């Protein structure tokens, strides 16, 4: 990929593809197009250059904050290339284990890099660590605990080119031991990178692990024809021996892939069930599920990409008109959790992509895309075909306008559950960097999801989102937000900023949140923050500085009460789809002045009306007979509260 980022100003403002988003509208700012120069990092690379960021302070809106404590620091600030690892474990006795990639060096070699570990004994956290727990350089820890009381951090070791399991027999106590877990029975070691691990089995004795074989870019060799293959390992004795090694699971082969990316996957296990989720960008996204401890697997696709094995520069032309089309897919950041019935729940950031330049072996992404999607097994597989959904006129840097078809998954479009909120009420999520210069995570403005579930089945989701009114004068900060569902993912609460950092006027970058999956009366998250949007290791390549690793604890009653207070006006549309009239049924606790607006997919407002609506249930009729066929968004606004529903017109 090119290292130089090219920005193309696009004349259109687009609302994108978001449906039934009650918690703050999923809005684009302006529709910038950026070269996808994302570099997947293993940690072997030194930075090519460094750039200073002065970070002046400006004010921002404050919302709500839980209880926080700094449990460590790191100068190495890339905790993941995409999906977040399981990095926090809350134990039955109230103790907590937490891990992250640590370095204390202000040098781009980060030679001291490894697992930073801290332990909460039920009363207080241990002294913040200054050294890794391993004897040699590594990174990307997955923190796991087993039924016997054993705990481990599994990382990829860059000194010895293998996967390293650092473990001890008692959680929170004792000396650490190390072993190479990517060595086979013949003594051959395979260099695997970016592992994810989970513990299952009736007695929590089975470790399930996935990782990508090192590609030729990292000194590896192709694995069964794939230059970077996702492989599966299993241990049935808490990591002492591994009875499945280098297993290429069904469909993870050259029939379906040219190569596989690092960190674009998640794994979860419970009893005899284990599930792997894969979050592709230019290909299908899916789960692989086993209900017999990893012996047999079934694939279910939750985003059916329109082209199989797409190769950059092939040209995405779905309607055959010799003009490249644009697609929506995942942004590679995803999360996975299993409920009490071992059904999988999947979350991912959504992104718009283009491959308009067929000579550069690369693609483009749209940084102002602002959507986070959800899927669970009850939805069934995505069956969206390769038909374009609409056409939008795009203007390039020279002002030449070209119509581009756009494709998106119906499954994704019907289950957008949240977005970075519109904090200033202008119906657009944008800030000082919306014309360029934004921090480079290559992610949706609502992304980096991590999930938890309570004993009664309530789902909780944290994510890092663009916070438009918190900036340093040149770049907008991200904060951690939380949403909740009490009905198995059918509806979701409004997003709540749980990291407003009021004392700093919101000027803290809050990213890479990892939530303990078991929720009781509290939500427990560790995340990384500093005073600079973006990263030093990749993307922005800011000045190397110290980042805090924060433990954040939020009472679930606080989430419930805030969500209830901020719930916008409730309404339903029927019929929908419609070809002439639709009825807006509104429920209000008191008489209110309501603003009605309708916008199309290009962001153009085509209807506006203000009316006093009495308390109770009321019905308003909207005539759409003059509307063109397509998707629209009807918004009702009372004060600063905004609710949006998708309206489909078919004739």
Q: What value does the mean pLDDT take over residues 109-122?
A: 97
pLDDT over 90 percentage in the chain: 69
601 and 515, same structural domain? no
Which CATH number belongs to the domain containing residue 592 in this structure? 2.60.40.1930
CB neighbour class for 509 (10 Å; exposed up to 12, middle 13-18, buried from 19): buried
**CA-CA distance, 536 to 620, in Å (whole number)?**
53
Q: What value does the mean pLDDT take over residues 239-268?
A: 96
CB neighbour class for 277 (10 Å; exposed up to 12, middle 13-18, buried from 19): buried
Task: List the one residue out of 171, 487, 157 whose CA is nearest residue 339.
Answer: 487
626 and 553, same structural domain? no
351 and 443, same structural domain? yes
pLDDT for position 651: 78
Residue 568: pLDDT band with limits 50, 70, 90: low
Q: Tokens 């970016």 appear where?
A: 194
Are 96 and 120 within 8 A, CB to CB? yes
pLDDT for position 35: 64
Query: For 339-359, how does the pLDDT look when each residue is reduced to its tens digit (9 = 90+)?
Result: 999 999 999 999 999 998 999
583 and 550, same structural domain? no
Q: Could you say which of 507, 529, 562 is where a domain stops?
A: 562
504 and 480, same structural domain? yes
67 and 207, same structural domain? yes
Six-digit token string for 231: 């492989």
Please count the structural domains in the chain: 2
Q: Could you say which of 516, 535, 562 is where a domain stops?
A: 562
615 and 540, same structural domain? no
In a domain, 20, yes or no: no
Residue 206 has pLDDT above 70, yes or no: yes
pTM value is 0.83
For residue 513, give its domain range: 33-48+60-89+201-214+264-562
Residue 472 has pLDDT above 90, yes or no: yes
CB neighbour class for 611 (10 Å; exposed up to 12, middle 13-18, buried from 19): exposed
Six-digit token string for 383: 């069956």
Query: For 353-399, how does the pLDDT look when each residue is reduced to its tens digit (9 = 90+)?
Result: 999 899 999 999 999 999 999 999 999 999 999 999 988 777 666 77
484 and 554, same structural domain? yes
Residue 15 has pLDDT above 50, yes or no: no
Query: For 266-322, how does the pLDDT look when each residue is reduced to its tens digit (9 = 90+)?
Result: 999 999 999 999 999 999 999 999 999 999 999 999 999 999 999 999 999 999 998
In a domain, 349, yes or no: yes
Q: Could you say which of 562, 585, 619 is where a domain stops?
A: 562
In a domain, 97, yes or no: no
- What average pLDDT does the chain have? 87
SS3 labels along 398-459: CCCEEEEEEECCHHHHCCEEECCCCCCCCCCCCCCCCCCCCCCCCCCCEEEEEEEEECCCCE
Task: List the one residue out of 172, 165, 168 whose CA is nearest residue 207.
Answer: 165
581 and 452, same structural domain? no
């Amino acid at each position: 990929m090119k290292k130089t980022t090219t920005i193309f100003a696009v004349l259109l403002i687009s609302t994108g593809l978001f449906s039934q988003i009650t918690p703050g509208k999923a809005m684009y700012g302006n529709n910038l197009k950026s070269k996808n120069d994302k570099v997947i990092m293993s940690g072997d690379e030194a930075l090519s250059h460094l750039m200073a960021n002065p970070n002046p302070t400006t004010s921002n809106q404050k919302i709500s904050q839980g209880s926080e404590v700094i449990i460590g620091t790191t100068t190495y600030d890339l905790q993941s290339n995409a999906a977040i690892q399981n990095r926090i474990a809350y134990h039955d006795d109230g103790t907590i284990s937490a891990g992250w990639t640590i370095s204390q060096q202000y040098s781009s070699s980060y030679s001291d890099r490894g697992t930073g570990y801290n332990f909460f004994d039920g009363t207080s956290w241990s002294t913040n660590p200054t050294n890794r727990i391993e004897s040699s350089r590594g990174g990307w820890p997955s923190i796991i605990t087993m039924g016997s009381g054993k705990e481990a951090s599994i990382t990829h070791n860059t000194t010895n080119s293998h996967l390293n399991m650092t473990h001890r027999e008692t959680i929170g106590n004792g000396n650490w031991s190390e072993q190479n877990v990517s060595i086979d029975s013949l003594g051959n070691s395979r260099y695997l990178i970016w592992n994810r691990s989970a513990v299952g089995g009736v007695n929590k004795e089975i470790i399930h692990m996935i990782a990508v074989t090192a590609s030729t870019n990292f000194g590896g060799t192709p694995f069964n024809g794939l230059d970077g293959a996702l492989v599966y390992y299993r241990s049935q004795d808490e990591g002492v021996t591994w009875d499945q090694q280098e297993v290429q699971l069904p469909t993870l082969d050259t029939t379906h892939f040219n190569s596989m990316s690092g960190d674009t996957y998640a794994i979860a296990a419970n009893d005899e069930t284990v599930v792997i989720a894969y979050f592709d960008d230019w290909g299908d996204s899916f789960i692989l599920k086993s209900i017999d401890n990893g012996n047999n697997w079934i694939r279910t696709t939750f985003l059916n990409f329109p082209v199989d094995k797409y190769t950059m520069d092939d040209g995405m032309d779905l309607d055959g008109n010799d003009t490249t089309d644009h697609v929506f897919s995942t942004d590679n950041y995803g999360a996975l959790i299993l409920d009490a019935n071992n059904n999988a729940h999947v979350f991912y950031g959504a992104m718009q992509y283009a491959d308009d330049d067929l000579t550069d072996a690369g693609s483009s992404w749209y940084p102002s895309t602002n959507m986070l999607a959800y899927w669970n097994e009850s939805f069934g597989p995505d069956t969206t075909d390769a038909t374009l959904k609409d056409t939008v006129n795009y203007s390039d840097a020279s002002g030449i306008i070209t119509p581009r078809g756009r494709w998106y998954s119906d499954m994704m479009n019907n289950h957008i559950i949240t977005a970075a909120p519109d904090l200033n009420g202008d119906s657009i999520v944008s800030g000082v960097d919306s014309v360029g210069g934004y921090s480079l995570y290559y992610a949706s403005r609502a992304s980096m999801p991590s999930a938890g579930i309570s004993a009664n089945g309530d789902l909780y989701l944290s994510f890092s989102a663009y916070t438009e009114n918190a900036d340093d004068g040149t770049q907008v900060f991200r904060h951690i937000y939380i949403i909740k569902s009490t009905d198995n993912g059918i509806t979701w609460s409004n997003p709540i900023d749980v990291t407003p950092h009021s004392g700093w006027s919101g000027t803290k970058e809050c990213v890479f949140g990892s939530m303990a999956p078991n929720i009781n009366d509290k939500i427990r998250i560790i995340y990384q923050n500093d005073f600079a949007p973006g990263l030093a290791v990749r993307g922005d390549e800011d000045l190397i500085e110290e980042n805090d690793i924060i433990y954040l604890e939020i009472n679930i009653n606080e989430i419930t009460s805030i969500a209830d207070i901020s719930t916008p006006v409730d309404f339903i549309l029927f019929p929908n789809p419609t070809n002439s009239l639709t009825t807006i049924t509104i429920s209000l606790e008191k008489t209110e002045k309501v603003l009605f607006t309708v916008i199309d997919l290009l962001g153009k407002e085509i209807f506006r009306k203000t009316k006093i609506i009495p308390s109770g249930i009321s019905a308003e009729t909207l005539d759409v007979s003059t509307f063109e066929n397509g998707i629209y968004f009807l918004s009702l606004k009372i004060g600063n509260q905004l609710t949006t529903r998708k309206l489909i017109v078919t004739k």
